[in-house]
Chain A
């Protein structure tokens, strides 16, 4: 784990809400794995107080000599609004890499379905690059409210993934939920499939229903408000199934953010 003051290399605005921030740091990039995240301060002052958790989106520079990494940010509140105004050469405090990474499919022959909604696309360019490099066939299912809410389609296409779009309003791709083309794809698929998802909880839960019904391994990346990102505050917990039939809280920042969907309890247990 590295505690670093990093320099912003560039800020690229994708639309009115979303932007990509590139940081210079070969060291952090060399250590980062798909699915892991960083905690980034948005100011040197004490307001806003807490760092923001952000997924690694892409690693920059050649594989053997990384020069930096990027994050994809959606402006939703005060912290991300301040980040949207970042200028190149600004320095920010970063803790990274944090949390668990996506694991490769247990079967080297598996094809991979990456299912994402909104800014949940953020960790997938990095994952898709790794999976494709390892020889997996990768299809990315990208969902959003409108065409404007579909993120990373070009990046995933450039990396060699098959890209399937779905929008609630039909402004791009399939008119409807992203799980519909996923179902269709799985109906046609031959051979093993590993599923990965990240996005709004109802989407991940629907993907999980589909994966469970077909007995497919499914890894999800979860989020929760985090004060520390390093496991000390216990703010980021999620209920997880125990082997003995009971459940316990696990920390999304340490035991996650990537979990086997099998272990998750989507409906919070009582008491």
Chain B
């Protein structure tokens, strides 16, 4: 008699937070869910990370804001967002109706800003976790990015930690010499999980005009070309800390999701692929179910951190 087909168990845990599956939408690539939900049912996904929220609304950078590159794109949106208050009033009620985890990505230009946004969201039902975007300059400390200096990262994470009892994720910035050091700083300051990575810096030149393509000269590189960099940095973060991890960067097919998970990501976030293929994440969930069935994987969590390293590594 043929085995009855069992549905593989796609649920994963990121610390205390359970996701229905490991596929999430990355911050800044799906707004607050309004438009993308026409292409993929949010109920089908593990979660959505909304566009980075600040205390006050932010207009963002002057155009031109994007440039296509080989294997990806640059952006310098400038963290345009409607502000945490309008998010709670206008966007959160709709997001609460979905059966998915809603993660609020938050940022600021001072430690107090981060704490303020975290405190404001702490009261809100339907926000399942906070993710700190630390790839922002600290204006009180000469503009050094919070994410590149272990002491500053510790301070901003501690401040957010004190302001919220919700699960706190820190999204690591890639432009650092030793990402493990920063991972440990976030861990010591009370982060519940780490997501990696944010965009890496890049620039493109319009030779005819002898000008940078982006109005801000340089911007954040994302898309398929980022994949090996992101996988490697996640690997380094995994070696540095026992915290649960979320893999981000360059995901363009199911194999990439599986690679992040094999290294040790409990979940992944998809960014740029939502732009050129808005239904992409729904397809990933379908393919993940099929892959588990084909590979006799009963629970996808079996894969997490199953990477076999060569002897002596």
Contacts and interface: CB of A to CB of B under 8 A. Distances in A.
Co-assembled chains A and B: yes
Contacts of A232: 29-31, 35-36, 274-275, 278
B42 to A, nearest CB: 13
Given A233-B75, A237-B80, A50 B67 contact: no
Interface string B54-93: 0000011011111110111101010010000000000000
A50 B65 contact: no
B66 A233 contact: yes
22 contacts: A3-B279, A46-B224, A46-B252, A49-B224, A93-B277, A227-B75, A227-B275, A227-B276, A228-B275, A228-B276, A230-B38, A231-B31, A232-B31, A232-B36, A232-B278, A233-B29, A235-B66, A235-B77, A237-B60, A237-B63, A237-B80, A254-B35
B275 A224 contact: no
B77 A49 contact: no
Interface of B: 28-31, 34-36, 38-39, 51, 59-60, 62-68, 70-73, 75, 77, 80, 223-224, 252, 272, 274-279
A95 interface: yes
Contacts of B35: 230-232, 254
A254 B36 CA distance: 13
Given A233-B66, A235-B77, A249-B59, 15 more contacts: A49-B272, A49-B276, A50-B276, A224-B63, A225-B66, A227-B276, A228-B275, A231-B31, A231-B34, A232-B274, A232-B275, A234-B65, A236-B63, A236-B65, A268-B62
Contacts of A248: 59
A14 interface: no
B58 to A, nearest CB: 10
Nearest to A51: B276
A257 to B, nearest CB: 14
Contacts of A48: 68
A232 B65 CA distance: 13
Contact of B73 (A1, A50, A234, A249): A50
Interface in A228-271: 228, 230-238, 248-249, 254, 268
Interface string A154-173: 00000000000000000000
A236 to B, nearest CB: 8
Contact of A49 (B60, B63, B72): B72
A49 B66 contact: no
A233 B77 contact: yes
Contacts of A111: none
Given A3-B39, A225-B64, A233 B276 contact: no
B275 A233 contact: yes
Interface size class of A (residues with CB under 8 A): 20 to 34
A224 B31 CA distance: 19
A179 interface: no
Most buried by B among A225, A226, A236: A225
Contact of B38 (A1, A47, A49, A235): A1
Contacts of A225: 64-68
Return the 5 tightest CB-CB contacts between A and B, nearest first.
A235-B66, A228-B275, A231-B35, A227-B275, A235-B65
Nearest to B25: A232
Interface string A102-115: 00000000000000
Contacts of A50: 68, 73, 275-276
Nearest to A237: B63
B278 A228 contact: yes
Interface in A88-143: 93, 95
A249 B60 contact: yes
A219 interface: no
Contact of A237 (B29, B65, B223, B252): B65
B71 A46 contact: yes
A197 interface: no
A234 B77 CA distance: 7
Nearest to B59: A249
A41 interface: yes
B249 to A, nearest CB: 14
A248 B71 CA distance: 32
B13 to A, nearest CB: 28
A41 B60 contact: no
Most buried by A among B67, B223, B252, B276: B276
B40 to A, nearest CB: 10
A267 to B, nearest CB: 12
Contacts of A41: 276
B71 A47 contact: yes
B71 A49 contact: yes
Nearest to B79: A234
A48 B73 CA distance: 10
A3 B278 contact: yes
Nearest to B80: A234
Nearest to A1: B38
Interface string A36-68: 000001000011111100000000000000000
